[in-house]
Amino acid sequence: MHKPIPRRDGMSRRAVLAASLAAASATALTAAGATASAAALSGPQNLSGDWFATTPRSVRPRFRWWWPDGLVDPVEIAREIDQIADAGFGGAEIAAVHHSIKDKSVLDTAHHGWGSAPWRDGVEAALRQAARRGLTVDLTLGPSWPAAVPGVTPDDEAAAQELAHGRASVAAGTTYRGPVPEPVHAAAPGVTRRTLLAVQAARVEPANATRKETGLDPASVRDLTSTVRDGALTWTAPADGDWVLVSYWQRGSGQQPESGPHSSPAAYVVDHFSPVGTEAVTGFWERGLLTNTVRRLLRAAGGAFFEDSIELETDALVWTSALPAAFEKRTGRPLLPCLPVLVLDNSNQVFAFEAQLTRQIRHDFWATVSHLFNTHHVTALRDWAHSLGMEMRAQPYGLQTDSIASAAILDVPEGESLGFKNLDDYRCLAGGRDMAGHTVLSCESGAYNGSAYGTTWDRFLRTMGGAYAAGVNQTVVHGFSYATAPGVAWPGFAAFSPYNGASGYGESWGPRQPTWRHAADIAGYLGRVHQVLRTGAPRVDVAVFRQTGYTATGIGASWFTATGVPLGWTHQFLSGPLLDLPSARVENGRLAPDGPAYKALFVEGDFFYGSAPTLALDDARKLLGLARAGLPVVLLGAFDQALTPGVPGEGETERLREVLARLLALPNVRRVTDRAAVGDALAALGVHPDARYATASTLLNFHRVSGDTDFYYLCNGKHAETVKPPVTAVDHDVTLRRTRRGATVPYLLDPWTGRAGRIGRYTEEGDAVTVRVTLEPGQAAVVALGRPGLFGDRNGKRPHAVDSDAHRVLFTGHGLAVRASRAGTYTTRLSDGGTVTTTVAAVPPPVTLAQWRLDVEDFRPGADATSTDIVRRTLRLDALLPWSQIPELADSAGVGRYRTTVELPADWTSAHGAHLELGVVSDTFRVTVNGTRLAPADRLDPVVDLGGHLRPGGNVIEVEVATPLINRLRVVQPSVFGAVARQAFGLSGPVRLVPYVQQRLA
């Protein structure tokens, strides 16, 4: 999770797009790809019904488990592992987070801090119980974030560093006498040492100035460091203009992990760009935390070490001692003359040379930083985790580094629903994952500012539906709070609430929540979605080449994001280092044929640098090789006049343009100058999407292939949650490409129930199957195309319907049937050329169910912070209303059981059935008919099929609804939650019973 870091211009540091992000270590990436197991891309050998219905713990959703450092009881820890397991989840990540506790002294870091003996006891208890229950436990690398080590001081070599600058103006021909200019920002508390790296003079060049940057003449930069005596400087400016003196001071940043202190001694953030910084982290674990018992338990139940987003906070420039040497090694040029256009003041650039040169210098600098980060931090931590039988999971963004390359190095890259601005942010990480041959893309899920105890699973599912279509297939729910901490109020300790005195981030899921009674339904749904999205290999239409591999920016791809996706296209982002992976080969016109099998490569100008058409010479040569191997390529922009992203060597620009001229001359390469022409260019190259929509739509899709079975995850979502207007229902044909050459039939897989059944109505043409897709906003479905008899289906090669005016055609255990909700004669055309006419004589009319008995379990504070008293009450309702509009329940939260009886006619037979339309219901619900609890129903389309459970005469229908706690907390803790508006929970309806008649086709 990240929090916004303000800048003077109102943007956060992570939103700074002015600096270029560059290639990571090709060596590290090649190693990552070489170690990726091909088995990770192979699907299950037996796609039975059980494979989908009963998913293993390894694919189940997980929780971010917030602890108040080490102030935990091992008995309670084991109990909470049981709670997570009993609710059907797959594991948890232990994180020391306690923003809600303002008086940190109550946590007593000397005795119960992160890494203390009680913390280790808690970790052992969690791992031991997880091993018993089949769960896995992840561990954060340090207390909170960024990665930090207790005992490291701000002055240590291993601590995070910054390069602070000072400045002084010197008029033409005048002399400066005095101390070297002090940094414009004082050092952070605890920083006592500093080193003068250099002092320079540069002539002011107004022509190079920008709105915020002072223009300088790069040719005038001169090094005055050798003239400094005892911290003082004497220098006379030439008479040809005004000058500026710039000093550069290397020192510790003094950054501590978020919301500390967490430990005693205090922890300080480590240098993320040097081996010594990483060794401080691993050494602390090896010396102080990894006892023989912990090592053994990690082998039994350990999952991954985790690092949150890389939020190195400084008013200056992030730094490490090796940067000058690393920069010169990569570029062949010294770094010091470039420093004026690199230094930062509160994330703002200070000086500028000529615009193109400035851009190229900044690109080269951040390329070097990215190389150091991915080599000495990401790769080193991953390798260390492997030595312990663990994986490395991380959110590799927050700096101007190549996150796409980082994602290829990590075992499990992770994004976040709070910080990511749209689906393209996930597609960046997915590109790295899939090119490296890894399987999992994780997401920190469901954090909403100001929504603590008011978050609904409805909202959660709408958020995550689109993320899955962008490649996410692991959900780390934000989050599960440890039960209690000193001074907390009911319903217990919560990591982020109160937050600055008000309702905070995310939700504290667990038994304190009324909806926890239904959490297993949510876990089952998410687990089945994950199961499908980890099966086999991904198939993605287009790779978008991104020179700046940054994510968490919201920057998308021309044409594809706005136009292509609504038509069915899928895309992912690649950066330069990924082209060095073993998977970066072309076979039968596909890039990475054993993985995402991209059909084309799309290249455009760099959005992070004004969309300038730039390419590194090495990357251009690789693109030429891919195109010569048969990969279709489309370029948008003036790439015949391309520039290098960094400062070019002698003749490098000319060599680049020669390579691009050869690329553009190939018959499978197109260059367009209008983004609207991208689709036509792809079509001219014979490239089409695997999924094609009958009309532009908000439908999203993700395609995976296991053997000769295609899986399509479909979701009615949107590119970003902030996009308006809101998503509306979709109802249109979708044409899906199939892999299998023999007889192929489509199956509908219901992630809520785990049922998989053959679709009754569809058409076929060539290698494509067309089905009708009807989805409510946020709703998702899975369609599989495979051999007859898959998932245990017994309908084999029976003919299917290609057209019908019946309300639905479906396969049952007795063959093909039609379903109608009103009387009439219905005609169905079959795939074998036959036509069947079905007459439905009568169907009982729909019934609105308005009168209910409502039994409420009202959750209220108990004797202590973790105890809940339940007050029971019964109401008779003649009309359904949200609890907030029922006087007796206006401030209530809990579980309500709505019960009614509906009379059905005496001639009701086995051919009859009915749908129960619940209308508006919030939050979670379960339905019981005549004493039989039905399978979980789709939360985003609350319509339940009661077929087979109804009988002539009286039928008792019960709807159990659970709510969040916010309405009760508004009155229990008004100082924290009182400003939150009363929420409309409960069963609001209207509820209708809509009968139908189902008849088998002759």
What are the pLDDT digits (tens) for 859-895? Answer: 999 999 999 999 999 999 999 999 999 999 999 999 9
The helix or strand, by DSSP H or E, that contains position 900, with its residue range, turns out to be: strand 894-904
CB–CB of 455/431 below 8 Å?
Answer: no
- Please state, in angstroms and rounded to a whole number, the distance separating the CA atoms of residues 641 and 224: 39
Number of other residues whose CB lies within 10 A of the CB of residue 352: 23
CB–CB of 438/36 below 8 Å?
Answer: yes
Angle between helix axes 117-133 and 74-86 (nearest 10 degrees) is 30
Number of other residues whose CB lies within 10 A of the CB of residue 179: 13
498 preceded by a cis bond (ω within 30 of 0): yes
Number of other residues whose CB lies within 10 A of the CB of residue 504: 24
CB–CB of 385/373 below 8 Å?
Answer: no
- Please state, in angstroms and rounded to a whole number, the distance separating the CA atoms of residues 503 and 977: 6
Is residue 280 scored above 70 in pLDDT? yes
Strand-pair partners of 960: 897, 926
Cα radius of gyration rounded to whole Å, the chain? 31
Q: Note the pLDDT of residue 47.
A: 82
813: nearest Cα among 828, 831, 796, 801: 796
pTM of the model: 0.95
Query: Among the residues of 23-163, which ranges form H helices?
Result: 26-35, 49-53, 74-86, 109-112, 117-133
- CA–centroid distance for 101 within its chain: 28
What are the pLDDT digits (tens) for 308-344? Answer: 999 999 999 999 999 999 999 999 999 999 999 999 9
Structure tokens at 891: 């401030």
Structure tokens at 821: 């909700």
Q: Note the pLDDT of residue 724.
A: 76
Q: Per-residue confidence at 37, pLDDT binned at 50, 70, 90?
A: very low
The helix or strand, by DSSP H or E, that contains position 622, with its residue range, turns out to be: helix 617-628
Q: Per-residue confidence at 722, pLDDT binned at 50, 70, 90?
A: confident
- Please state, in angstroms and rounded to a whole number, the distance separating the CA atoms of residues 555 and 564: 15
CB–CB of 270/278 below 8 Å?
Answer: yes
Q: Picking from 520-529, 586-595, 604-613, which range would have the lowest pLDDT averaged per residue?
A: 604-613
Q: Note the pLDDT of residue 924.
A: 98
In one-letter notation, the amino acid at residue 696 is A
- DSSP single-letter state for residue 428: H
- Please state, in angstroms and rounded to a whole number, the distance separating the CA atoms of residues 222 and 636: 41
CA distances from 458 to 272, 445, 586, 981 (A): 38, 13, 42, 18
- Please state, in angstroms and rounded to a whole number, the distance separating the CA atoms of residues 297 and 284: 18
Strand-pair partners of 992: 848, 917
747: nearest Cα among 702, 707, 781: 781
41: nearest Cα among 572, 584, 594, 578: 594
CA distances from 744 to 5, 763, 792 (A): 53, 11, 15
- DSSP single-letter state for residue 676: G
- Higher-confidence residue: 21 or 458? 458
972: nearest Cα among 898, 839, 827, 868: 868
Q: Note the pLDDT of residue 105.
A: 85
In one-letter notation, the amino acid at residue 943 is V
Strand-pair partners of 556: none
Cα four-point dihedral sign 513, 517, 522, 523: positive
- Please state, in angstroms and rounded to a whole number, the distance separating the CA atoms of residues 378 and 401: 12
Average pLDDT over residues 983-994: 98
Structure tokens at 892: 């209530």
Strand-pair partners of 732: 773
Return the SS3 of 250: strand
- Please state, in angstroms and rounded to a whole number, the distance separating the CA atoms of residues 135 and 498: 30
Q: Picking from 101-105, 208-212, 819-823, 932-936, which range would have the lowest pLDDT averaged per residue?
A: 101-105
The alpha carbon torsion through 307, 308, 311, 312 (nearest 10 deg) reads: -20
Strand-pair partners of 932: 929
The alpha carbon torsion through 279, 280, 281, 286 (nearest 10 deg) reads: 80
- Please state, in angstroms and rounded to a whole number, the distance separating the CA atoms of residues 986 and 963: 7
Structure tokens at 370: 């990215």
Residues 6+ apart with CB under 8 A from 506: 446, 447, 448, 451, 452, 455, 478, 479, 495, 496
Residue 515: Cβ-neighbour burial (10 angstroms; 0-12, 13-18, 19+): buried
CA distances from 26 to 19, 23, 550, 631, 867 (A): 21, 8, 17, 22, 55
Q: Note the pLDDT of residue 27.
A: 41
- Tell me the backbone φ, ψ of residue 293, rounded to 5 degrees: -65, -45
Q: Note the pLDDT of residue 1.
A: 56
Q: Note the pLDDT of residue 703.
A: 98
CB–CB of 404/429 below 8 Å?
Answer: yes
- Please state, in angstroms and rounded to a whole number, the distance separating the CA atoms of residues 465 and 721: 11
The helix or strand, by DSSP H or E, that contains position 303, with its residue range, turns out to be: strand 302-307
Q: Per-residue confidence at 23, pLDDT binned at 50, 70, 90?
A: very low
Q: Note the pLDDT of residue 655.
A: 98
Q: Per-residue confidence at 102, pLDDT binned at 50, 70, 90?
A: confident
Place of tokens 């709408």: 462
Residues 6+ apart with CB under 8 A from 357: 218, 647
Structure tokens at 281: 């982290």
Average pLDDT over residues 371-394: 98
The alpha carbon torsion through 570, 574, 579, 585 (nearest 10 deg) reads: -10
CB–CB of 896/870 below 8 Å?
Answer: no
Q: What percent of the chain has pLDDT over 70?
A: 95
Length of the chain: 1002
CB–CB of 204/216 below 8 Å?
Answer: yes
